Amino acid sequence: MKAWVLGGPHEMKLVEKKVPEPGQSEVLVKVGAIAVCHTDIEVLHHGHPAMIEGKIPFNKDFTMGHEYMGTVVKTGENVDEWQPGDRIAVEVHAGCGRCAKCREGMYTSCHNYSYRSKGHRANGFTTDGGFAEYAINNINTLVAVPDHLSDEVATLTVTAGTAMYGLDVLGGLVAGQSIAVAGGGPIGLMFIALAKALGAAPVIISEPRPDRREMAKHLGADFLIDPLAEDPVEKVRDLTKGKGVDFSVEASGVPIVVNQILHMTNRGGKVCLAAFANGLTPTDLAYVVSNNIYMFGIRGEGNSAVRRAASLLEQKRFDPSPLHTHTFPLEEADKAVSYAENQTDGAIKVVIKMN
């Protein structure tokens, strides 16, 4: 089969690989489409942090990509949960199931992260991913895709699940509560879409790019803030009778935005950190303590939130299709990655569609 693998740093190349065989608790997926995620670009340039921890050599024939969908074509031994022909999208993480974290349900924090022999998989991070014609998936990582979703849009299921997970860790009771999101990339926009779908009000976005603010409006934002044109903290306080929002989400990865997000947040409010910059971020922890604020870092898409996000997609509670802006064939995956990296032509989600 064809697969795009890591070469050296900054290099990805198209090679021929053998179609893998599904083992215990696994299925073989014929990939239908795969989206480029910001993390893919990180992996391309720096390797995945967990790969390096786990001593996986940088360029060892590793297939990239984790936001894909496709069709089950073969099942491993004792697998009756899925059947050949099932149309599915995927989560990234299958925990080892044997460490303390997995046993408490926190599988994206698995203590055996990257230890394939103990059962852990993180496709596209530490195990082969989906920039290929076929991929192996643990049955835990599959969710059904409804007929009415195109292959391209279905790749966004895992992105929606990540935002759903973020709302879960915030306690989930966003209905009738206020929420602000900073950053209108795919994750931030999904937070907007899901918060709106779940009844949050008002839903506020702070994002400097006008096209992304418009996208946020389309997905459900009630108020749009351009943080370069007005003070986003003051604006949020104006919109919330001076109190700040009940929930907030940092999805920009821009250090200066962290304190904006904190200062937008009401006493006793909750903050989800869904993005980050490398290095240390100057943070107003005095404000956090004085105001009983709780901050929740989230890694990936835990708590089976992808399944619930997929249910909302099936129910047509929100429409992520505008996030999908560009399509390329598998042969042009490198070009797809370049578009995503450089936001060429306003690219948000660039998808590779198999033939």
327-346: contacts with its own copies (CB under 8 A): none
- Other C-beta atoms closer than 10 Å to the C-beta of 316 total 11
**311: contact with its own copies by CB under 8 A:** yes
Residue number, 200 or 333, with CB nearest to its own copies: 200
d(CA 124, CA 5): 10
Q: Are 226 and 204 in contact (CB under 8 A)?
A: no
Segment near its own copies (CB under 8 A), from 33-41, 226-234, 269-277, 332-340? 269-277
- In whole angstroms, the minimum distance from the beta carbon of 52 to its own copies comes to 13
Query: How far is CA 141 from each of CA 14, 100, 200, rounded to the nearest angstrom?
Result: 26, 20, 28
Alpha-helical (H) ranges within 54-185 are 100-103, 151-154, 157-169
Dihedral through CA 341, CA 345, CA 348, CA 354, nearest 10?
-80
According to the binding rule CB under 8 A, does residue 139 interact with its own copies? yes
Enter the tokens of residue 156: 């966004």
Q: Which range in 7-15, 148-156, 194-202, 333-341 contacts its own copies by CB under 8 A? A: 194-202
Q: What are phi and psi of 287, to 5 degrees?
A: -65, -40
> Within its chain, how far is the Cα of 169 from the centroid?
15
By CB under 8 A, residue 277 contacts its own copies: yes
Non-local (6+) Cβ contacts of 278 within 8 A are none
Per CB under 8 A, 217 contacts its own copies? no
Q: Is 188 one of the binding residues for its own copies (CB under 8 A)? A: no
Q: If binding is defined by CB under 8 A, does position 147 make contact with its own copies?
A: no
Beta carbon of residue 20, minimum distance to its own copies (angstroms, whole number): 19
Site for its own copies in 49-88 (CB under 8 A): 49, 78, 81
Binding span for its own copies by CB under 8 A among 102-110, 183-191, 223-231, 321-329: 102-110
257 contacts its own copies (rule: CB under 8 A): no
If the CB atoms of residues 268 and 346 are measured against its own copies, the closer one turns out to be 268
Among 146, 297, 329, 346, binds its own copies (CB under 8 A): 297
Looking at residue 225, the DSSP 8-state letter turns out to be E
> Can you tell me which of 198, 219, 264, 348 binds its own copies, judged by CB under 8 A?
198
Q: Is 23 in the site for its own copies (CB under 8 A)?
A: no
Q: Cα angle vertex 318, ends 332, 146, to 5°?
A: 65
3-state secondary structure of 246: strand
Output the six-digit token pair for 3: 């697969």
**Near its own copies by CB under 8 A, which window of 34-42, 66-74, 174-182, 340-348?**
174-182
Give the three-state DSSP class for 286: helix
177 binds its own copies (CB under 8 A): yes
282 binds its own copies (CB under 8 A): yes
As a whole number of angstroms, the distance between CA 188 and CA 191 comes to 5
- Is residue 292 within the footprint of its own copies (CB under 8 A)? yes
Tell me the C-alpha distance between 71 and 138, whole Å: 14
Binding track, positions 237-256, relative to its own copies; x by CB under 8 A: ------x-------------
Q: Compute the least distance from the CB of residue 265 to its own copies, in Å.
A: 11
Q: What sign does the CA torsion over 182, 340, 167, 108 have?
A: negative
Nearer to its own copies by Cβ, of 145 and 352: the residue is 145
